[in-house]
């Protein structure tokens, strides 16, 4: 086989694309990846991973200022901000390199360039790649997976200007720690940056157009998150309307209307985190049967587009915009291509994690959504204050909330806020994926002492009553 003809060409080397290539290699398909920027995509380079590195640093900074409760005294703890940022970049670089090694080990060729669909050659798809060295090459493949990802949405007047207004990209490599920071949007990206900068010492104002922060989460969790942010000294404005930014030489002022009153604030920097748009431009979708709806490629539940042999996965194929959703779609899509029997993804079984302080994690239906869907629910709650490990850790603020179907005992949803909950949510995801009922969860023995015990207690609370609260 020539080096330009493959069973599968994957466009994009992010957590969707590179996983697709690795799985395809395992299934003995000949496969190549085309990547226009960095292997690992936004996730590894400009998203999930570098933000976790920054948030770890801000958590340490928080602890350094809270050492007294553990009996420590440290004088004048301080940090070198550029080293904090530098560590985050080094982490990304290490992992991106790791992806490169994995692909190399799997003998998957990587073409550095920008790919576009370029019609068909008989039964094969043609993919034209403008290589970084200025040359171009045409690949042919029986199947193409589009995994081109997404980028920050820009609103008029809030375009990143390289100075005052940042998208997540600039916010990951700040030149200096802004004294006064405005974060627009309180989804996962907005709250994580708000949390990082607040815990590093910036004065942070978090603005949300919806009536609560983290609007996709359960209302109780949103309320607790807001209280925790405010307790940390963050200013939180919900149901807010933003006026026009007025930029001066050294700062930005803006009128914000919230809770019935208008007020003008001045900031050194503004982070715009108002959602994302799919990367659907210039990849050769024009004139094909591939349907694009509001910047996302329309697919069926097996990731098929309107064009036979062309698939779309991950962010470019729509919400939820999560790396683990992209990777799972990648495996499913490749297995379907290889003729295996696959199960379509149920979005209510995809967990979501936000790494602000306190962390937030959830899966499935919120209480309100469960009721809207017609379920009669049983709700159980357990606060961290009743959990020995949380108290010993000095993390007594948190809550686990579970929503069951009262008739069938189905775990409809689970919602958590507090320390380490992003590491714990998988327990409920397994329960939901395996269709366990309250009976199995009640009979499961949780190890002591762990914060996870509060997951057990929340289930008990929904039925017979919690033991420790």
Residues in the site for other proteins, rule: CB under 8 A?
A: 7-8, 27-29, 123, 142-143, 291, 298-302, 304, 306, 308-309, 311, 336-344, 407-410, 434-437, 439-440
Q: What is the 3-state composition of the chain as percent helix, strand, coil, each rounded to the nearest 5?
A: 35, 25, 40
Residue 266: phi, psi to the nearest 5? -120, 135
DSSP code of residue 123: T
- Per residue, the 3-state secondary structure of 429-445, as one string, reads HHHHHCCCEHHHHHHCC
Q: Catalytic one among 296, 341, 448, 456?
A: 448
Beta carbon nearer to other proteins, 292 or 390: 292
3-class state of residue 374 by DSSP: coil
Structure tokens at 324: 């683990």
Q: Which residues pair with 206 in a beta bridge?
A: 183, 236
Residue 452 CB, shortest distance to other proteins, in Å, is: 20
Residue 31 CB, shortest distance to other proteins, in Å, is: 9
Beta carbon nearer to other proteins, 299 or 452: 299
Beta carbon nearer to other proteins, 171 or 412: 412
Beta carbon nearer to other proteins, 227 or 289: 289
Beta carbon nearer to other proteins, 20 or 172: 20
Our answer to whether residue 415 is catalytic in this structure is no
Q: Which long-range contacts (CB under 8 A, 24 or more apart) does 302-305 make?
A: 302/332, 302/333, 302/336, 302/342, 302/344, 303/145, 303/329, 303/332, 303/333, 303/336, 305/146
Residue 137 CB, shortest distance to other proteins, in Å, is: 21
Q: Number of H helices and number of E strands within the chain?
A: 13, 24
Beta carbon nearer to other proteins, 78 or 343: 343
Beta carbon nearer to other proteins, 141 or 214: 141
Cβ–Cβ under 8 Å, residues 352 and 416? no
Structure tokens at 401: 């909330």
Q: Which long-range contacts (CB under 8 A, 24 or more apart) does 373-377 make?
A: 375/405, 375/406, 375/412, 376/405, 376/406, 376/407, 377/403, 377/404, 377/405, 377/406, 377/412
Beta carbon nearer to other proteins, 28 or 294: 28
Cβ–Cβ under 8 Å, residues 205 and 265? yes
Cβ–Cβ under 8 Å, residues 136 and 128? yes
Residue 304 CB, shortest distance to other proteins, in Å, is: 6
CA dist 279 and 146 (Å) reads: 10
Residue 8 CB, shortest distance to other proteins, in Å, is: 6
Beta carbon nearer to other proteins, 66 or 300: 300
CA dist 304 and 56 (Å) reads: 39
Residue 98 CB, shortest distance to other proteins, in Å, is: 27
Which residues, in sequence order, are CB contacts of 376 under 8 Å at separation 6+? Answer: 405, 406, 407
401: left (phi over 0), alpha (psi -120 to 50) or beta: beta
User: C-alpha distances in angstroms, 451 versus 55, 212, 419?
Assistant: 21, 27, 8
DSSP string spanning 271-338? EE---EEE--TTSS-TTSS--EETTEE---TT-B-SSTTEEE-GGGG-SS--HHHHHHHHHHHHHHHT
User: Looking at the annotation, which residues are catalytic?
Assistant: 448
């Amino acid at each position: 086989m020539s080096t330009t003809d493959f069973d599968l060409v994957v466009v994009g080397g992010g957590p969707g694309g590179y996983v697709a290539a690795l799985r395809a290699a395992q299934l003995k398909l000949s496969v190549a990846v085309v990547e226009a920027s960095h292997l690992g995509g936004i996730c590894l380079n400009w998203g999930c991973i570098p933000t976790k590195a920054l948030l770890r640093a801000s958590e340490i900074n928080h602890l350094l200022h809270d050492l007294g409760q553990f009996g420590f005294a440290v004088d004048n703890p301080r940090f070198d901000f550029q080293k904090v940022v530098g560590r985050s970049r080094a982490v990304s670089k290490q992992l991106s390199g790791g992806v490169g090694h994995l692909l190399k080990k799997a003998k998957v060729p990587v073409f550095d360039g920008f790919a576009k669909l370029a019609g068909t050659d008989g039964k094969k798809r043609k993919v034209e790649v403008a290589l970084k060295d200025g040359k171009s090459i045409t690949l042919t493949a029986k199947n193409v997976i589009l995994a081109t990802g997404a980028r920050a949405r820009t609103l008029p007047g809030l375009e990143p200007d390289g100075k005052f207004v940042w998208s997540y990209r600039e916010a990951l490599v700040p030149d200096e720690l802004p004294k006064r920071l405005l974060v627009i949007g309180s989804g996962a990206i907005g709250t994580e940056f708000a949390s990082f900068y607040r815990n590093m010492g910036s004065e942070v104002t978090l603005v949300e157009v919806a009536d609560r922060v983290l609007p996709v989460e359960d209302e109780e969790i949103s309320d607790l998150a807001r209280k925790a942010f405010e307790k940390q000294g963050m200013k939180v404005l919900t149901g807010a309307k933003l006026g026009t930014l007025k930029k001066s030489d050294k700062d930005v002022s803006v009128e914000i209307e919230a809770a019935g009153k208008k007020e003008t604030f001045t900031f050194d920097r503004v982070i715009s985190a108002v959602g994302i748009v799919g990367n659907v431009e210039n990849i050769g979708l024009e004139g094909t049967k591939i349907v694009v709806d509001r910047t996302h490629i329309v697919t069926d539940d097996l990731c098929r587009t309107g064009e036979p042999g062309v698939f779309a996965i991950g962010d470019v194929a729509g919400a939820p915009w999560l790396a683990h959703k992209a990777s799972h779609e990648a495996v499913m899509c490749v297995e379907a291509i290889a003729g295996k029997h696959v199960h379509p993804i149920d979005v209510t079984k995809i967990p979501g994690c936000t790494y602000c302080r306190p962390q937030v994690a959830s899966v499935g239906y919120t209480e309100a959504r469960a009721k809207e869907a017609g379920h009669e629910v049983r709700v159980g709650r357990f606060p961290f204050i009743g959990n020995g490990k949380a108290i010993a850790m000095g993390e007594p603020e948190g809550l686990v909330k579970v929503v069951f179907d009262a008739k069938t005992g189905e775990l409809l949803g689970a919602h958590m806020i507090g320390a380490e909950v992003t590491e714990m949510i998988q327990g409920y995801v397994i329960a939901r994926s395996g269709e366990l009922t309250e009976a199995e969860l009640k009979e499961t023995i949780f190890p002591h002492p762990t914060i996870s015990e509060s997951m057990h207690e929340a289930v008990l609370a929904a039925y017979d009553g919690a033991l420790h609260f």
